[in-house]
């Protein structure tokens, strides 16, 4: 028998210590060798009749992004049933969906599973659909399997009991998980391999020279293993930036090169800066708890009694000197002082304009905002917004449209389309769309020229154009992603294989 190579000796020794039969993972933990090195050694041992390889096809279940979300938050039907119970046992579908933080577009799917699992009864009275339930929500086998896979990262379908395997099929039909085939290998010592003694003494080949071998002269008595130059090397994944973070840095570099200044503001904001300065009425639906995250503690901030506060009050009540009639109500300072998680980075623009009153003004903010929403392929409760303003004498809407087209072209985002829009604080206003290869036309920016009701209280006497971009949606287009949750993926295969775009 020819001399054993170093790795072959290590694998044989490990198998003896592991009871003659072990998985590739167990051998790797014992020897410290890579999987590819173990497989090469195993193949050589098998050809020599010293070991035998057993292969078995296994089916693995892995959660996708939506399945991961449900594993953490609960399935929609269970959340809806709990929401009904928390309101007394009967409530309209719309109210129950809002309380469970579920989107209205999910109503047919959720009601279907409510009926299928007998979680509640559904009745229609006077054109309104009501949900009734009086019993507590029992543990759901579907949720239990979701949590099981989430905690393990993946699950072998063959190791599950028959009921759990049936649940796997059901969850797959709901597109909450994926199943992949994998070959599971075990290596077993043959009687010939088991009878070998003095494995270390039989080692005659080395795979690499060390500095000690060279300096001591030992290399002269060693036989080096031959290299197969036609063999494919193992994949090497060098360090690189996250593709989403790289895209964000590119947007920042482009705006800075265009002469913009980057600015930031507080994430916890007073409604005064988030809404009131923007001439958004205090009874506007966007200020309700279903559309904004309101702080429980502390509830209010310290709003100084400045001239700006007084001018904003008058603008809301009667229009002040803006040429507007205002909203015609009595402005409430206590509402303006309420604390919230900012819903738009336009609050940063307002703070910036309040302290930069001389033109020209060019500022952008690339930061997080927060809005209650349903987590799905296109929406998230926490996302990044790219806000920008340009103010100077002679600025008009054509400058705004030109900037948006230029920015999209520089970022290689593709075709841009505009249509008239409405926002409480800009007039005229536009909405801009970019085409996603899979999802179609996606709105990526709302823009316009700040109204006099916004600028005059800030003591700004020159026109200002402004835009707010859903930056995560831009990244989806640029990176070819169909699901917004993939931007924060922990999947190493996606992170490794995503090419560097810039």
- Tell me the pLDDT tens digit for each residue of 301-330: 998 878 999 999 999 999 999 999 999 999
Express as a percent the part of the chain with pLDDT over 70. Answer: 95
Arithmetic mean of pLDDT, 151-157: 88
- In contact, 81 and 119? CB cutoff 8 Å: yes
Task: Provide the pLDDT for residue 2.
Answer: 56
> Locate tokens 């609050």: which residue?
347
| CA nearest to 274, candidates 296, 291, 260 | 291
Arithmetic mean of pLDDT, 353-368: 94
Residues of CATH 1.10.10.10 domain(s) within the chain?
Answer: 1-62+155-234, 76-139
- Tell me the pLDDT tens digit for each residue of 368-385: 999 887 777 777 888 999
Residues of CATH 3.30.930.10 domain(s) within the chain?
Answer: 244-268+342-496
Task: Provide the pLDDT for residue 321.
Answer: 93
Strands 361-370 and 223-224: unpaired
More confident residue, 328 or 444: 328
Task: Provide the pLDDT for residue 289.
Answer: 59
Paired tokens of 320: 């002040």
Query: What's the pLDDT band for 203 if we cut at 50, 70, 90?
Result: very low
| Contacts of 296 by beta carbon, 8 Å cutoff, 6+ apart | none
**pLDDT surpasses 90 at 341:** yes
Task: Provide the pLDDT for residue 426.
Answer: 93
Counting Cβ atoms within 10 Å, is residue 330 exposed (0-12), middle (13-18) or buried (19+)?
exposed
According to DSSP H, which parts of 117-262 are helical? 141-152, 162-173, 191-195, 199-202, 211-216, 243-257
Alpha-carbon distance of 457 to 260, in angstroms, equals 24
**pLDDT surpasses 70 at 442:** yes
Paired tokens of 309: 């506060």
**CATH no. for 1-62+155-234:** 1.10.10.10
Task: Provide the pLDDT for residue 249.
Answer: 92
Task: Provide the pLDDT for residue 204.
Answer: 52
Query: What's the pLDDT band for 1 if we cut at 50, 70, 90?
Result: low
Among 3.30.2310.20, 2.30.42.10, 1.10.10.10, 3.20.20.10, name the CATH number for the domain at 76-139.
1.10.10.10
The CATH superfamily label for domain 244-268+342-496 reads Bira Bifunctional Protein; Domain 2 (3.30.930.10)
Query: What's the pLDDT band for 283 if we cut at 50, 70, 90?
Result: confident
Paired tokens of 348: 């940063």
Query: What's the pLDDT band for 239 if we cut at 50, 70, 90?
Result: confident
Task: Provide the pLDDT for residue 33.
Answer: 86
- Tell me the pLDDT tens digit for each residue of 30-71: 888 888 888 888 888 888 888 888 888 888 899 988 888 889
Alpha-carbon distance of 165 to 61, in angstroms, equals 10
Q: Please tell me what DSSP assigns to residue 491.
A: -
Query: What's the pLDDT band for 137 if we cut at 50, 70, 90?
Result: confident
Task: Provide the pLDDT for residue 202.
Answer: 45
**Residue 250 Cα to chain centre, angstroms:** 19
Task: Provide the pLDDT for residue 368.
Answer: 93
More confident residue, 339 or 230: 339
Task: Provide the pLDDT for residue 191.
Answer: 82
Q: Please tell me what DSSP assigns to residue 21.
A: E
**pLDDT surpasses 90 at 452:** yes
Alpha-carbon distance of 496 to 244, in angstroms, equals 13
Task: Provide the pLDDT for residue 488.
Answer: 80
pTM score, whole prediction: 0.61
Choice among 112-121, 453-462, 484-493 with the minimum mean pLDDT = 484-493
**pLDDT surpasses 90 at 128:** no
């Amino acid at each position: 028998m020819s001399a054993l190579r170093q790795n072959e000796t290590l694998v044989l020794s490990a198998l003896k210590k592991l009871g003659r039969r072990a998985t590739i993972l167990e051998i790797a933990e014992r020897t410290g060798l890579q999987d590819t090195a173990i497989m090469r050694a195993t193949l050589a041992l098998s050809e020599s009749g010293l070991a035998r390889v057993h292969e078995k096809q296994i089916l693995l279940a892995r959660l996708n992004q939506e399945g991961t979300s449900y594993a953490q938050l609960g399935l929609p039907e269970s959340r809806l049933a709990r929401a009904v119970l928390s309101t007394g046992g009967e409530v309209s579908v719309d109210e129950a969906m809002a309380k469970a933080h579920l989107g209205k577009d999910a109503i047919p799917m959720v009601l279907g599973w409510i009926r299928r699992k007998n979680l509640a009864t559904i009745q229609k009275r006077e054109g309104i659909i009501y949900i009734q339930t009086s019993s507590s929500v029992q543990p759901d086998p579907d949720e239990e399997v979701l949590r099981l896979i989430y905690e393990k990262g993946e699950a072998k379908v063959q190791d599950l009991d028959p009921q759990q395997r049936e649940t796997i099929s059901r969850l797959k039909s709901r597109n909450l998980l994926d199943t992949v085939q994998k070959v599971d290998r075990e290596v077993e010592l043959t009687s010939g391999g088991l009878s070998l003694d003095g494995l270390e003494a039989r080692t005659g080949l080395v795979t690499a020279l060390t500095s000690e071998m060279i300096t001591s002269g030992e290399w002269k008595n060693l036989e080096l293993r031959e290299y197969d130059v036609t063999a494919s090397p193992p994949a090497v994944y060098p360090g690189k930036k996250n593709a989403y973070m790289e895209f964000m840095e590119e947007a920042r570099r482009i705006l800075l090169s265009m002469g913009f200044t980057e600015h930031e503001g507080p994430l916890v904001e007073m409604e005064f800066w988030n809404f009131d300065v923007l001439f958004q009425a205090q009874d506007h639906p966007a200020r309700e708890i279903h559309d904004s995250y309101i702080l429980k503690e502390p509830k209010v901030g310290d709003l100084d009694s400045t001239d700006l506060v007084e001018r904003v009050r008058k603008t809301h009540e009667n229009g002040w000197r803006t040429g507007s009639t205002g909203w015609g109500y009595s402005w409430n300072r206590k509402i303006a002082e309420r604390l919230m998680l900012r819903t738009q980075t336009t609050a940063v623009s307002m703070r910036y304009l309040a302290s930069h009153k001389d033109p020209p003004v060019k500022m952008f903010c690339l930061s997080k905002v927060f809005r209650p929403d349903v987590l799905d392929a296109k929406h998230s409760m926490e996302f990044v917004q790219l806000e920008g303003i340009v103010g100077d004498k002679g600025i008009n809407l054509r400058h705004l449209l030109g900037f948006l087209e230029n920015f999209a072209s520089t970022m290689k985002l593709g075709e841009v389309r505009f249509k008239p829009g409405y926002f409480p604080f800009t007039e005229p206003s536009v909405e801009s769309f970019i085409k996603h290869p899979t999802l179609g036309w996606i709105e990526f920016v709302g823009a316009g020229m700040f109204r006099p009701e916004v600028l005059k209280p800030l003591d700004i006497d020159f026109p200002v154009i402004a835009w707010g971009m859903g930056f995560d949606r831009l990244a989806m287009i640029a990176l070819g992603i169909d699901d917004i949750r993939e931007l924060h993926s922990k999947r190493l295969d996606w992170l490794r294989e995503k090419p560097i775009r810039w």
